[in-house]
Structure 1
């Protein structure tokens, strides 16, 4: 009987351990690590076998072991950003500035409803700014400057009433700058060095994508 009990407890422990090891946020971050190059080994502590990623360097969690901050600025990391970042549903700060990230900004970042700050500046990102970023109602800081972004500024961003800092300078954006929402509060420097970008937006007279 005692041996049966010990066997039962061992099986129960293994089951619980397996359940906890499949942490969705840890899996998402490990998926990010698997697609990028890390010559300085700043991600060497990202061990996918741990219960959760809260002990990993550059990752901050809240009291409930939920990832709320990712700090990888100035890390000499290169490669594409993937859709898995959109699974960090409690994330508040996404700091990926001054690296060599390339490719498009994943539209899945629009799932990060708790995000306060998104700093992707100083990379090699290209393509359009995703319209889905208009879902980030808690966003206060959005810095996308010094990339290779094209297309227009999505009108959906005008609904971000909490946005205090917006910078898309030094890209290749086109079209017109919105005049509603928080956009009248942003200085000219937020848009400079986008040779095909004009403003303010002429509501009802020209298409928003005019010139793109």
Structure 2
């Protein structure tokens, strides 16, 4: 019996090590595709057993990555699909850089994600419908990019159910319809023209501050956006 328990423990440790190595491989693969003029990623050494000693990376007690904090790091390059393999990731903070290209569909696999902060970058293309799979997500901030198309129904559903507390997609090139429940939704300066509104108080799109309002109806071509704020 003791030998069987020991064997199980060895297998468990081996699996954990493989997972940690996988996460390190993912992050190192991303590093190789990023331009890092400030050497922010200098500590990301692939020869280490796991990435938990790297700067800007946080792990849980099982040495699995839970946070990647790279805001205002001066980085350029893409997000890579392999980031979707970081199964225990809760915070992906890559705001205020020069990250370009599309948002990978694979980020929808990060079902433990609480905060997705990709704002103030150069991201383009559509918002992936797969982000609607992020049932633990509280904050999705994608503003200040070059995202196009409509906001996927799956993402809108996160808003209408009240789970997603903040969805900020302002300062992009989006169109479509958004209904707000108990969430805060920002859609400033997208490709939407003002049609009519209900009561609006203290609304300032330049400072991104607002008081209260009932309903905004916005139109882009044949698309109508209804904002319940």
TM-score tier after normalising by the smaller chain length: 0.7 to 0.9
**Structure with greater contact order relative to length (CA < 8 Å, sep ≥ 6):** 1
**CA deviations over 1:36-65 (Å, ceiling 9, x no partner):** 100000000000011000000000000010
| Aligned-partner Cα distance in 2 for 1:118–1:23 | 24
Question: 2:102 touches 2:125 (CA, 8 Å); kept in 1?
Answer: yes
- Following superposition, the deviation at residue 84 of structure 1 comes to 1.1
1:174 Cα deviation (Å)?
Answer: 1.2
Over aligned residue pairs, what C-alpha RMSD do you find?
A: 2.6
Whole-angstrom distance in 2 between the partners of 1:198 and 1:60? 44
- Is contact 1:175-1:198 (8 Å) kept? no
5+ residue gaps, structure 1: 1-15, 203-208
Could you list the runs of 5+ residues in structure 2 that have no partner in the other structure? 1-13, 196-214, 225-229
State the distance in 1 between where 2:149 and 2:183 align: 19
Task: Indicate conservation of the 8 Å contact 1:107/1:130, yes or no.
Answer: yes
Supply the distance in 2 between the matched residues of 1:198 and 1:144 (Cα, whole angstroms).
Answer: 22
Which residue pairs with 1:210 in the alignment? 223
1:159 Cα deviation from its structure 2 partner: 3.2
Deviation, structure 1 residue 109: 0.2
Q: Relative to 1, partners in 2 of residues 1:24 and 1:82: Cα closer, same or farther, differing over 3 Å?
A: same
In the TM superposition, what is the alpha-carbon distance from 1:145 to its structure 2 partner? 0.2
TM-score (normalizing by structure 1): 0.80
* 1:165-184 equivalence runs, <5 A: 165-177=166-178, 179=179, 183-184=180-181
Q: Give the count of matched residue pairs.
A: 185
**TM-score normalised to structure 2 length:** 0.74
Aligned position for 2:39: 41
Instruction: Supply the distance in 2 between the matched residues of 1:20 and 1:143 (Cα, whole angstroms).
Output: 32
Q: Cα gap change, 1:172/1:98 in structure 2, threshold over 3 Å: closer, same or farther?
A: same
Q: CA deviation at 1:31?
A: 0.7
Distance in 2 separating the partners of 1:93 and 1:193: 27
Alignment partner of 1:192 is 2:193 = no
1:77-92 superposed matches below 5 A: 77-92=75-90
Separation in structure 2 between the aligned mates of residue 186 and residue 59 of structure 1, nearest angstrom:
29
Shift of 1:102: 0.2
Which residue does 2:74 correspond to in 1? 76
Q: How does 1:13-32 map to 2 (within 5 A)?
A: 23-32=21-30
